[in-house]
């Protein structure tokens, strides 16, 4: 492993900034920033500097910029950026792996309601990352999230159970250089049809209770198969083409992710396992494996993991340890069973597989939001 000269550009009002670097096994060292030979003064009297630290030619390295005594980027006690990049821009207190324009707009969310389609009208929420307006040649990965009504804090009024704060968490991680800029697409569920929409077709549920014209309650005694395959086709054949037509996206499976919890986690796993040609990056949180229990007691979602060949996907699998305070286990036992099956199939902890046990976490939006930063780092790492 050799050393190469990295480039770090900084826009600041500081007079004498410097770079503090940490490499594995070495004490921290400093490198001064120098004004650019042809300095560009930005609005507010900001100036542009550059530093040329020697870093390893492969692998990540950690650094922070000191602007004034005790004033660092990133802000925080002993907090450092960690990156594999060798050319970096620090501007507006944010990390960029490309040269940004002088004025970068903040993220925004486009809400389309109703978004029509074969699964019935529903809201679609599209998070556009910082600078989307200005950087018109850039195309972005796409992260689909289930239960779109609950995804974003900016639309908390649409939620029925609190939000994942996906917009706030993505903003922070992107600013810290810990997550790729991407579109996050919250696909709304179909209200009373939610359970069936996310249920795989190999699982069956009784038809919901209905009021008969006579006033009696009737139920179809023949269980109905889940509609997850139809929901997937809605994503693939209707939502994805709409995004490609109206937004600048990357459509390759390597640039596509899906994330959900509970029934939404079951659907995410279904899409990743059954349709790996569409998506490579999958996160299934607090997955409702139990709902696929068959007449002989088998958990069909896990049985399908056993029977099939390993898939070329990157998978985050997790569970809390409580359904609610003082009761339940958030499906921990079945999630660990699924983990062990995947271990038997050859999956190992690392870049392509991560199992997380969230001790004390409940089956709730607040609990999923609390670990969403880890999920986003896994799904959309800044390579």
3-state secondary structure of 306: helix
User: ω before 49 within 30° of 0 (cis)?
Assistant: no
Task: Write the CA distances from 61 to 23, 86, 382, integer angstroms.
Answer: 6, 9, 13
Residue 102 forms part of a structural domain: no
Which pLDDT score, from 0 to 100, does residue 345 have?
96
**Residues 226, 368, 62, 26, Cα dihedral to 10°:** -110
User: How does the average pLDDT of the chain come out, rounded?
Assistant: 93
Is 215 part of a structural domain of the chain?
no
Q: Output the six-digit token pair for 19.
A: 């770079």
User: Left if phi > 0, otherwise alpha if psi is -120 to 50, otherwise beta: which for 370?
Assistant: alpha
Q: Please tell me whether residues 92 and 117 are part of one structural domain.
A: no
pLDDT at 10 over 90: yes
Q: Is residue 214 part of a domain?
A: no
Write out the residue range of the structural domain in which residue 229 sits: 108-209+221-379
CA separation for the pair 172, 225 (Å, rounded): 41
Residues 174 and 249 in one domain: yes
Model confidence at 78, in pLDDT bands (50, 70, 90)? confident
Is 200 inside a domain boundary?
yes
Count the alpha carbons within 13 Å of 337 in the hemisphere toward its beta carbon: 17
* 254 lies in the same domain as 371: yes
CATH number for the domain spanning 161: value is 3.40.50.1820
Asked whether residue 29 is domain-assigned, the answer is yes
pLDDT 10s digits, 131-148: 999 999 999 999 999 999
Question: What's the token pair of residue 268?
Answer: 């995410």
Q: What is the DSSP letter of 359?
A: T
**Within-domain flag for 365:** yes
Distance, CA of 203 to CA of 302 (rounded, Å): 12
Confidence of residue 42 (pLDDT cuts 50, 70, 90): low
Q: Which two tokens stand for residue 333?
A: 């036992």
171, 199: one domain: yes
Question: Measured between alpha carbons, how far is 251 from 279 in angstroms, rounded to an integer?
Answer: 9
Q: Are residues 33 and 138 in the same domain?
A: no
- The verdict on 76 and 154 lying in the same domain is no
Is residue 103 domain-resident? no
pLDDT tens sequence across 287-339: 999 999 998 999 999 999 999 999 999 999 999 999 999 899 999 999 999 99
Same domain, 190 and 326: yes
Same domain, 115 and 91: no
Peptide bond into 74 cis (omega under 30): yes
Residue 129 belongs to a domain: yes
Say yes or no: 274 and 126 in one domain: yes
Residue where one domain finishes, among candidates 96, 121, 138: 96
For residues 365 and 160, the answer to whether their CB atoms sit within 8 Å is no
Q: What is the token pair recorded at 229?
A: 């395959």
Same domain, 178 and 51: no
Say if residue 70 is exposed, middle or buried (CB neighbours under 10 Å; 0-12, 13-18, 19+): exposed
**Residue 92 shares a structural domain with residue 123:** no
Provide, rounded to the nearest whole percent, the portion of the chain with pLDDT above 90: 85
Residue that is last in its domain, among 46, 68, 96: 96
pTM, to two decimals:
0.93
Q: What whole-number distance in Å separates Cα of residue 47 and Cα of residue 9?
A: 10
Is the peptide bond between 114 and the residue preceding it cis, with omega within 30 degrees of 0? yes
Rounded CA gap, 275 and 112, in Å?
Answer: 26
pLDDT for residue 156: 98
Query: Does residue 231 share a domain with residue 173?
Result: yes
Q: Kindly report, residue by residue over 200-257, the tens digit of the pLDDT.
A: 999 988 655 555 555 555 555 567 899 999 999 999 999 999 999 999 999 999 999 9
202-208: which pairs have CB atoms within 8 A and are 24 or more residues apart? Answer: 202/226, 202/292, 202/300, 202/301, 202/304, 203/291, 203/292, 203/294, 203/300, 203/301, 205/291
Cα separation of 241 and 251, whole Å?
9
69: CATH = 2.60.40
More confident residue, 189 or 78: 189
User: Which of 45, 66, 96 delimits the end of a domain?
Assistant: 96
How many domains are contained in the chain? 2
């Amino acid at each position: 492993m050799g050393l190469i000269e990295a480039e770090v550009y900084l826009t600041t009002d500081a007079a004498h900034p410097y770079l503090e670097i940490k490499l594995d096994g070495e004490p921290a060292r400093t490198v001064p920033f120098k004004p650019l030979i042809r300095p560009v003064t930005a609005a507010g009297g900001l100036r542009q500097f550059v530093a040329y630290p020697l870093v390893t030619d492969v692998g990540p390295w950690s650094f922070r910029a000191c602007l004034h005594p005790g004033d660092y980027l990133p802000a925080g006690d002993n907090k450092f950026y960690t990156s594999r990049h060798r050319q970096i821009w620090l501007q507006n207190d944010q990390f960029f792996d490309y040269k940004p324009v002088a004025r970068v707009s903040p993220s925004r969310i486009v809400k389309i309601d109703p978004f029509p389609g074969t699964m019935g009208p529903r809201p679609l929420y599209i998070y556009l990352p910082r600078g989307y307006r200005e950087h018109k040649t850039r195309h972005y990965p796409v992260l689909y999230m289930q239960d779109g009504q609950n995804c974003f804090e900016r639309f908390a009024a649409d939620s029925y159970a609190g939000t994942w704060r996906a917009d706030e968490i993505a903003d922070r991680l992107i600013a810290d250089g810990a997550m790729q800029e991407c579109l996050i697409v919250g696909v709304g569920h179909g209200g009373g049809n939610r359970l069936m929409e996310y249920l795989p077709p190999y699982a069956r549920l009784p038809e919901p209770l209905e009021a008969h014209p006579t006033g009696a309650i009737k139920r179809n005694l023949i269980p109905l198969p889940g509609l997850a395959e139809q929901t997937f086709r809605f994503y693939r054949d209707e939502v994805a083409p709409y995004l490609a037509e109206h937004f600048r996206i990357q459509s390759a499976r390597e640039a596509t992710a899906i994330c959900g919890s509970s029934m939404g986690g079951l659907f995410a796993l279904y899409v990743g396992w059954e349709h790996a040609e569409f998506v490579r990056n999958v996160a299934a949180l607090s997955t409702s494996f139990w709902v696929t229990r068959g007449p002989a007691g088998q958990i069909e979602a896990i049985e399908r993991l056993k029977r099939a060949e390993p898939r070329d996907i990157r998978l985050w699998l997790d569970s809390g340890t409580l359904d609610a305070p003082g009761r339940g286990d958030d499906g921990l036992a079945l999630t660990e069973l699924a983990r062990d099956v995947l271990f038997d199939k050859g999956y190992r902890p690392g870049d392509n597989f991560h199992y997380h046990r969230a001790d004390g976490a409940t089956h709730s939006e607040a609990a999923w939001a609390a670990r969403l930063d880890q999920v986003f780092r896994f799904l959309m790492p800044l390579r």
